[in-house]
Amino acid sequence: MVAQNFIRLAELTGLIQDTLDDVFEGKSFWVVADVTNHSFKPNDERHFFSLVEKAEGSSALVAKVDAVAWRTGAGKISVFEETTGQRFQNGLNVLVRVTVSYSPEYGLKLTLIDIDVNFTIGALERQKQEILARLEAECADYIQKSGDGYITRNNRLEFGLAIQKIALITSNNTAGFEDFVHTLQTNHFGFAFNIDYYFTPVQGENNSHLIRQILVDIYKSNKPYDAVVIIRGGGSQTDFLIFETFALGQIVAKYPIPIITGIGHQRNETIVDIMAHSPTKTPTKAAEYIIAHNAGFEELLLNARKLIANRSQQQIWSKMQSLDPMIANIKNYSKMCILHHKGYLEHFEKVVALMNPANILKKGFAIVYYNGKIVVNAQQLIAGEQITIAMDGARLEAIITNKTTE
Amino acid sequence: MGEQMSYEAAFEELKGIEAEIVNETATIDVLAEKIKRAADLIKYCQTKLRTAEEQVNAVIADIETA
């Protein structure tokens, strides 16, 4: 049998529309829900997704409504992504302001007109604090809280004198990768670097384990790396959750080679930054950090060379100083020595001259010879004996005529 | 003077000769010989110092132009 009282579907949907309009028109609601079935049409800036609520402690849905964000809502989502660093994506728990509308063709729809930034920042921050607390509790051997930061095994490592052999973890052909390599290769000091590239996606929370695996591989390679560098940058300011996981924070903290990060972001440091040896803000800054470290080492070398050169100059100078008086002494004293000896000789000469009989004769003395011998004692001389008297310029033969003894 | 002689050894010998001459313990017989030796030692020491100085200066110049 055919019921007589029926209406057309359009009449029914019209009735639904009128009823809903009566209740919801001009009203908006702040609701907490999870995002699912998300897609984004960049050309006309539209987000299509569903908002769902799950039963506590299970994945069973208790509510689900399709939703859309037109230009206004998409703009808000854009600001949200930039401010939170969190991509608007499936699984995200959000506080959104929606209007309720019904169209006969498309059914019930929520329209997103605003999204609460602080709700998500708070949630992310809570999540981050939970992970940090877990790292501190479960990895106490190599992670300890210290003031506002953390002391980890990795950030207590010391760099070698120069950083040259580098393991670079990056995604291929991104601006950040090019910035880093270009900055290192064109450094004006002319430092050379030996870089091994380990390419991996650096977006998407679910790719976190890939980075962890690469760190394991680098460690197992036993290559003598001076540092491991993790960079990401040049792209969107969103989706940093890949660097906010417990597993990655743990391996970075424990890692035996110093890790330098250059993860482009404006917000607070990620967990990887906090656990790493040397966090920097961008890939370029990471490269500059390495160059500065090496420049510091070169300066040390140059200072040492300068010091050595100066000290040697001083030493040579002081040796020259000590040589000079010695040369003077040897010169002067050897002359003096000869002079002294000359003096002695002159003295002897004078004495000899003084004692020379010829000189004595000149002074009016005479020498008496008897039998050819000089007479020094007159005892043997008696009157009548012949003697010779030698005087200056003449010899006299004489006979003694008289002798008187005194 | 062999190339093997160190600056310090030459300098020590020179000090000995100096002392002998200053104290006039060198006899005239050996004085000339001593002075000749001293002259050789002085020349040797000065050459060594000058060579070292040139090398040091070269290194310094190298550092300053580096």
Q: What pLDDT digit, counting tens, does each position of A219-267 carry?
A: 999 999 999 999 987 555 556 778 989 999 999 999 999 999 998 766 6
Is there a contact between A312 and B45 if contact means CB atoms under 8 Å apart? no
CB of A316 within 8 Å of a chain B CB? The answer is yes
Assembly ipTM:
0.71
- % residues pLDDT > 90 (chain A): 56
Nearest to A49 by CA among A83, A77, A81, A20: A77
Confidence check: pLDDT of A205 > 60? yes
What is the CB neighbour count within 10 angstroms for residue A183? 19
Choosing among B12, B29, B45, B55, which should be mutated to test the A contact, i.e. which has the most A CBs within 10 A?
B45
Closest Cα of chain B to A325: distance in Å? 10
Q: Are A233 and A281 in contact (CB under 8 A)?
A: no
Closest CA of chain A from B45, distance in Å: 8
Q: How confident is the model at residue A145 (pLDDT cuts 50, 70, 90)?
A: very high
- The C-alpha atoms of residue B63 and residue A302 are separated, in whole angstroms, by 7
Both tokens assigned to B54? 């040139």
Q: Which one of B8, B20, B22 makes the best mutation probe of the A interface by having the most chain A beta carbons within 10 Å?
A: B22
- Residue A239 is predicted with a pLDDT of 67
- For the segment A69-86, what is each residue's pLDDT rounded down to a tens digit? 999 999 999 999 888 878
pLDDT at residue A138 tops 60:
yes
The per-residue pLDDT for range B1-54, each reduced to its tens digit, is 555 788 888 888 988 888 888 887 877 788 888 888 888 888 888 888 888 778
| CA dihedral over A152, A156, A160, A163, signed as positive or negative | positive
- A202 pLDDT above the threshold of 80: yes
The set of long-range contacts for A149-153, using a CB threshold of 8 Å and a minimum separation of 24, is A149/A274, A150/A253, A150/A274, A150/A275, A152/A252, A152/A253, A152/A254, A152/A275, A152/A276, A153/A253, A153/A254, A153/A255, A153/A256
Instruction: Indicate whether A15 pLDDT > 60.
Output: yes
Is residue A356 over pLDDT 60? yes
Please give the backbone phi and psi of residue A244, each rounded to the nearest 5 degrees, phi first: -115, 20
Report the alpha-carbon distance of residue A319 to residue A277 in Å, rounded. Answer: 50
In angstroms, the CA A64 to CA A35 distance is: 10
Confidence class of residue A130 from pLDDT cuts 50, 70 and 90? very high
